[in-house]
Chain A
Amino acid sequence: MSKATKIRLVCYLVVLAGILAHPFHTIWKYEFSDIPSREFLFECAMRDPYDIMRGRYVQLSFDQENITLPGNRPANYHRSLEVYAVLKEGEDGFAKIVDLVTARNEVPQDGWPLRISSDAVWNTNWQPNDENKGISYRVRFPFERYYVNEKLAPQAEKVISGALLGNASQKVALKVRILAGGEFAVEDLLVDGRPLREVIAETAE
């Protein structure tokens, strides 16, 4: 092997290590994080489009998208800022946004951070900022898609439509595992507390 080839080989091994670093880091972060993650349920509705990179997905919309927070806060968040939604579990077991902060260390002890994009938050007040009235925001959650097998997506849409439009007591919720740093991993889509795939399989039978 010539010297140039040896150098190329070493460079290639370094590049390969770099390529593998990202997947390893992702798996480590989600499977073996120092601070255990927490699971939250987000009540939602949906529709069914297509992502060329990752396949069919169910497009979700959430009840928690519209929130009103106490006054004395920015009307809009500058696009270069990081924003964290502070989450707490409500009495009904679903997650609620109780605050929006711009730094991880501003999240209170009894809350849990969810990192969202600053351009996913916008002010929906018609009036100027009023401390008494509070500020209304619309928040676009970062997990508005749930990827499913190509064949299952239309059935998923039918099952969820049936759940939402039919029996009023049936709730559709997205189970999300949120890490201490605000990153998230979607775990499952639940229909009345049961995994979507289970419901689809039952419906098919």
Chain B
Amino acid sequence: MSFQRKWIRAFLAELPKLRDSGVIDEATEGRLRNHYESQLTVQKDSAQRIFQLSLAILGAVLIGGGIILLFNYNWEMLPKCVRILVSALPLVAGAALSLYTLVHEKSAVWQEVSAIWTAVGGAVLIALLSQIYQIHGQFFDYIALVLAFTLPLVYIFDSKGLAILYQAFLFGLFSHNYWHVVPGVLLTQILLSLAFLPWLIWKLRCGTSAGRVLARYLVIVMLIYQSLVIGCSEVNLGEFFLVLLGCVFTLLAMRLAEQGDHGFRNPWGSAAYLLLLGVLVVGNCIDERLGLINLGHHEWTPVVILSIGYYVAWLIALGALAVWQFYCSWRNKTLHGEKIVLGAIALGVLLEGLLNLESIYLYMLALVAWGVVKLWRGVRLRSIRLFNSGLVIIVVFMFCRFVSSDFGLLERAAGFIVTGIAFLVANVLFSRTCRRAQTDNPLAGKEVEQ
């Protein structure tokens, strides 16, 4: 929103210059000015409304907090039935608000508040009941129950706020180490994750612009976390899972960039970059090659069978998505060096995992090649961002090899200094070249950056 206001202001400032240079006449200038100034007013009104809404929410939260503290002070003195009724009040209020919102078909803000209030009311009721009856349940059971009734509310109210909270608490579920012991726990985690996917997919395909952007972030978070937790299970992680995710994210980011989505609207590119960079660092620092699936020492309990099955299914789904993205790129004739290198990265880590090779770093070399391709594209497109992203990959690889090799302190110190200087000098030289080229030919066309 603020970017649009800045753009409108900049455009309004340009209008007199356009009139003076004869590009537009006075009447056109007047019409354009009226049109865009009215848009500024509307945005200012909506910004004020958002600010007022935020203050109202803050006020309501403070009032609610005060009431809660009052009850907390007198809690022990209240009879059990009164405590139970008080515990149910937030849920009752949430239910009343939700019914009002649904019956009168109120706006999205009402729906968001209704969804969150109902979910929080339910969670509070269950927590307080366990305190009243001194029931000592497990944190996992509590979170699983709360998530189970929160998810339908996400669908009913199409609530983005509640979806973010759901994703956050899903982490709490996955971080619990119960699941590798009891099959029911793992099954609960899998079902709660998979049940959330249709909403994410729906938002990605059919949601509003803001909904699509939010879904992109949530998808990243969910896929990476699931890959780490479920993949780091009895089965094994290997680097393949994360590398495959990085490749898939990169391809998806490229498609979005081709459609005109950049910056914060296209988080997959950054996520893929950080993921693959992380794999490069960790892969260089850990000498042990884990292999794709390590089945040798397992006791074949239901949990292990379930987790292996889930792992394989997830792998196949991601692999199919990657292949499909490659195919779309090939069909649209938008395939270029970077995508081919990504395929080499995925194949490299797959081969390394299947063959359980210890000394041949196939996918590491492919990752470095990816850095070189980015660097080259940066030079060609005169993009400092691409140039630096490629340079960082190469420097990180050299740094990690340097660190993990048997060099003394003096040699390492010299190496770091030289690398740092080379990095800085390359950046300065390249940015000067870009500025010079911009000055000489400011209207030179550029391909879409990724």
A associates with B = yes
Residues of A within 8 A of B (CB): 1-2, 5, 8-9, 11-12, 14-16, 18-20, 22-23, 26-27, 30, 53-55, 79-80, 119, 142-150, 152, 184-187, 197
- In the complex, chain A residues whose CB is within 8 Å of the CB of B118: 16, 19
Query: A23 and B129: CB pair below 8 A?
Result: yes
Which bucket holds chain B's interface residue count? 35 or more
Please report which residues of chain B, range 118-138, place their CB below 8 angstroms from some CB of chain A when the two chains form the complex. 118, 122, 125-127, 129-131, 133-136
Query: B152 and A15: CB pair below 8 A?
Result: yes
- In the complex, chain A residues whose CB is within 8 Å of the CB of B76: 148-149, 152, 197
Pairs across A and B, CB under 8 Å, 19 listed: A1-B103, A1-B105, A8-B102, A15-B156, A19-B122, A22-B145, A23-B88, A23-B126, A26-B129, A53-B142, A54-B131, A55-B131, A80-B181, A119-B181, A146-B134, A147-B134, A149-B72, A152-B76, A185-B133
- In the bound assembly, the distance between CA atoms of A143 and B118 in angstroms comes to 30
**Which candidate, B91-99, B235-243, B411-419, is the interface stretch facing chain A?**
B91-99
By beta carbon, the residue of chain B nearest A79 is B181
- In the bound assembly, the distance between CA atoms of A199 and B156 in angstroms comes to 51
Please report which residues of chain B, range 59-110, place their CB below 8 angstroms from some CB of chain A when the two chains form the complex. 72, 75-76, 84, 88, 91, 95, 98-99, 102-103, 105
- In the bound assembly, the distance between CA atoms of A147 and B133 in angstroms comes to 10
- In the complex, chain A residues whose CB is within 8 Å of the CB of B343: none
Cβ of B253 under 8 Å from chain A: no
Cβ of B149 under 8 Å from chain A: yes
- In the complex, chain A residues whose CB is within 8 Å of the CB of B122: 19
Query: B95 and A9: CB pair below 8 A?
Result: no
With known contacts A18-B149, A79-B182, A152-B76, A9–B133 Cβ distance under 8 A = no
- In the complex, chain B residues whose CB is within 8 Å of the CB of A185: 133-135
Please report which residues of chain B, range 174-200, place their CB below 8 angstroms from some CB of chain A when the two chains form the complex. 181-183
Query: A5 and B181: CB pair below 8 A?
Result: no
Q: Smallest CB–CB gap between B304 and chain A, Å? A: 12
Cβ of B276 under 8 Å from chain A: no
- In the bound assembly, the distance between CA atoms of A158 and B38 in angstroms comes to 69
Cβ of B153 under 8 Å from chain A: yes
| Further 14 A-B residue pairs, CB within 8 A, beyond A12-B98, A23-B88, A197-B76 | A8-B102, A8-B156, A9-B102, A11-B156, A12-B102, A15-B149, A15-B156, A16-B118, A19-B125, A22-B126, A26-B129, A53-B139, A55-B131, A143-B134
Counting from the closest, the 7 A-B pairs by CB-CB distance are A186-B134, A19-B122, A15-B152, A79-B181, A185-B133, A54-B131, A9-B102
Query: A30 and B182: CB pair below 8 A?
Result: no
- In the complex, chain A residues whose CB is within 8 Å of the CB of B103: 1, 5, 9
Chain A CB within 10 Å, residue with most, of B88, B91, B134, B142? B134
- In the bound assembly, the distance between CA atoms of A9 and B114 in angstroms comes to 13
